[in-house]
Structure 1
Amino acid sequence: MRGYGERLSTARQKGGTFCFGIRRPKIRLKDRRRATGNSFKTHLTLFLTLAALIFSTARSYALPVEIVITGDTVYDLTSDYENKKLDEIIKSITDNNARIEKVLIERDGDLITLRLNVWTDDGKVDIPLKGSKSDFYKLAMGRADGTLIKGIKSATFVSCKKVNGAVHYALEYTGFEAAKAKELESLNAELKAATDAGDIAKVEALAKKHKGTPLGGRAFATANQMREDEAFEKAEKANTASSYEEFLNKFPKSLRRMKALAAIKQIEEDAEAAKAAAAKAAEQKKKDAANAKKRAAEEKAREEVANAYARAKESDTIKAYKGFINKYPKTAQAGSAKVRVEELEDDNLFESSRNSVAGLQGYLSKYPKGRNQAMASALLKELKAQSGDTLKVVRIKGTPNLDGDDSDAVWKKSKVLRVPFRPYEGAPETSPVEVRAVHNGEKIFFLARWDDKTRDIIYRPWVRKGKRYRPSSQVDDAFSIAFQMAKETNDSCMLNGQDQVLDVWLWRAYGSEISGQGADKVLRVSSQQLPESNAFPAKNGSGQLWVQNQFDAGNPAWRLFVPIASKTTEESVPSYKKGVPSGSAGDILAVAKWKNGVWTLEMSRALDTGNNDDDVKLVAGRKALCAFAVYDHAEKADHAYTKRITLDLEGN
């Protein structure tokens, strides 16, 4: 190895190899990079010789440093145009001197500072050459002294000479230990900061940069530990056997090896436990599903039974209940259905038997303790006792509820009269009507029951025919009470050939259904033509009779409705709508219900309405004449009527 004093030309031939001499054995260091090319005008070669003096621990050493600069470069530094050549000067220095890490040129008036930051194998050295233009002129001529380094306490001037146009400026650097310690402190701080920040990449960069040094070793160990910590943290976060196994493969000698193995064992045990729990849960889920399915089937069956029973109750017929019993004979509802069948059979027989003595006797024979036994016995007694042409109107306290139901207590106090109907010509024979009446001193109440196989509640609806509506022939059921207002007649038929005036109370199934009221009319029959009257032949052959049928004064409970075809799209439209009753026309209340082939009707009116022109005045303690008529989906003359009946109103 060549010594410290090797010539510049030799250094160039060796590609920029940096040589330095020491007072102990020589050490040869490789450059970090090779110099790139030669410059004819400007050439700077910097030889930094760092002498690693192997003395005792307490002994310091001197580091010889020789700076070789071409004269032209020095002159450029002192030139007024130096700023224009600044990048060129710096590039020349860094390109041709591998160990110069940084070059800084500063000017303060006549004062020039050339600051060189140089790498050695023992660390970095900061060498500032500082002086006036005159001092740097001397350097260019090879006559400089220690003036340029007088600011460096740890540097001693050795020599300055010019050889082959290049200036050789030599010095000894004796403060390297302090600089090295300072730099080491800085590097340690940098390592600590990177470690504290968890910046593994920066720690690894320090380890690589300072490889082979104690700092590099510490950085390498720290980086490995950080990698290990990171890998273990990742394994813990994943918490899977594979993540811990991956950690052990990367760090087989880690202090966390036992912890990782324990974690793997625990994970495997947990997995087995989870597998067993999952199997148990699956089995339980299977059982629960089976139980749920069973419960659902049972619930469905219960719901089916409940719905079927609800339908049977809604129908409330023997057929419906028997159908339920046949389909669900072992259900709890079957017992209730059987009881209801017995009740309905009892009721049906009673209803079909109540209008005749023989029928009631047959009912009592079959059901001596039946649910209708008391009423059947009372009816039988009344039927045997009450016949003829007079209906006793009992005085009561209170009022019955008008709802088409004969279960009110007041009707049990009333008398019943069974009156046969006289069918109109061509009509079939009809069963008698059962009539009751009570009064409370202010109002009179009627209860009428008669057989009717069908419930007809539609009255002449409008039916679309082409672009117009036409009235249909369909009519509803009806019932009327006709009171004689003028002279008495010997026949209840209004067409008996005699002139008469009748106060008519009319219940129509359709009109009363929508209004809860009846119609109050005046019927005048005369052998002389009347305004707005219709002609009918007299039954006694005496000639022609004129019948005038008018509502009482005021507004009736239902009114005629005529639809406009262009504004209505329905195929069928009601012919009457609910009105607002007023005056004498609104005196009658009427409500009826149809059940099991029987109409039950309740009607009421004030005994004295004050409208003597069109209403009959009824007085407690006196009698009145009337007759009843029934219309089986018919109207006008097509009705069955009773004989003349005397109402005997009980007095005070």
Structure 2
Amino acid sequence: MPNRSKSPAWVLLHTALVIAVTCSLFSGLRIATLSKPAIASIEELLPQGEVHSVHFLSAVLLSLVALAYLCSRILRRYQAEQKFGRKPLNYHRVVTWGGISLIGVSLASGWLLFSGISKLPLTRTLHFYAALGLTAYIFLHAGVYLVQFGQNVLKYILKPAATKRAQLVLLCSFLTIFLMGGWLLLAKFTYYQLPVSTIAADTIIDIDGHANESQWADADALEVSTDGGANFYQGRTDVRLKALQNGEEIYFHISWQDPTESLAHLPLIKTDQGWKIQQQGFEKFDESRYYEDKFALLLSSHCDFAGAGTAHLGRSPLPGKPANWHGKGYHYSQSGQLHDLWHWKAVRTNKMYLADDNFIGAPDKVRAGIRRYTAGYQQDGKESGAYLMNWKWYSPDSITPKRLPRDTNALAPFQSFDQERALDWTISWFDYQPYSTESDQLATGTLMPSVLYTSNRFEGDRADVRAKGVWHDGFWSLELVRKLNTASPLDIPIEDGTCLWVSAFDRAQVAHTRHTRAIQLNLSKAL
């Protein structure tokens, strides 16, 4: 190894590169656990919490370093070739060029994913495997240097010439300024824009899921690519949004592709050992087979990454609170800011013509006897109305139903299980009778819905969002409406500049699609 020290520019860029690659790699692998459960086998090595901002900030730093390196490399290569000719290839030069190529692929695929320009699943695949390649590069590059030269290599790459250390401080200041400027541009000026068309106050918009009023045809549409969800083709679906407002209420029409209308929500089946829930992951609150389709909108007065900073990844991102069962993370607000969450459910709320009005706030306290801790994800209050699950106590092996049909013929339509059959998988509390072993004369293999309706719909804060979805020819069409300002402390006022994020669920409990950039509402457009 040469005795001469490296230049301040080289030391700064190399150190920044190490920091950027390390932060990008570990935060990216944590994000990847959402759709690649196999990575969770090394979850103890990965950071937890709000890692999206770390990932994007390190991407800005890596981009700046790559740009500076590219410029200096071109200049130095030209000067060196003029003076010495081309250097011969050796192990470290080959590995270095391999690392440069992997960083280039990571940056190109990452920015394509961030921008939403590329809708090809290959882009995310390239991004993931480039990250794995960088993991190997670290060992092949840094590991071999350490083996070859020992600890002295650290002095060589971290200690600039004493006479040039003032230059290092100056260069570090410039890099910090560019980094903060790049982060500001990324965080504040990369939102999708959704124009909200103004309609007359007396215009009637029927919330029926069909969106066949002329005002919808005239409204501007925004299409957002979402991915990372279970059961969708290659994990992705494009979401198309339109919005109207009349000064009092705001209307949304949202459509997305879903090959099947999934309505069989955790069916119960009679076995030789008793009743059992049909499930594939529900014991960990991560059902991905026997579940209804859903859609969620998160609305916030803040437009930060990770759903206004509410997505905290990992099994235990909250110290002192229970670990989550599925290892994906929690939603909660650290800033004290409340965020609105509208949760439409194809079985449990669609028949009510509602979306479940929820919110994300500060982490809730742990409550005795509650199996699932949900941190900041909570439901608005209600005055009446409910749906219940038709079992007394949950067990993955067997359950006891709360009620059985008075007329067993009522279960006949459900006996041929088919996710594509458009059946009403809800049952009325009043058409069923309390369970008893004497009345349970149903045959082994009998299927029964698990969602019990005790009334027609919610009343109160939880019913602030009216909604209706219709599935047809591989697409869901969903209409929603809510007052711009409900005056509820659990709802945010919707105004110009409000941001939202959308997620589609294909018969999945929590494995939804997602997108990075916030959608900002522009309420100034008139039809």
Q: Same fold (TM over 0.5)?
A: no
Highest RCO, 1 vs 2 (Cα 8 Å, sep ≥ 6): 2
Q: Normalised by the size of structure 2, how large is the TM-score?
A: 0.43
Quick check: which one's strand share is greater? 1
**Structure ID, larger Rg:** 1
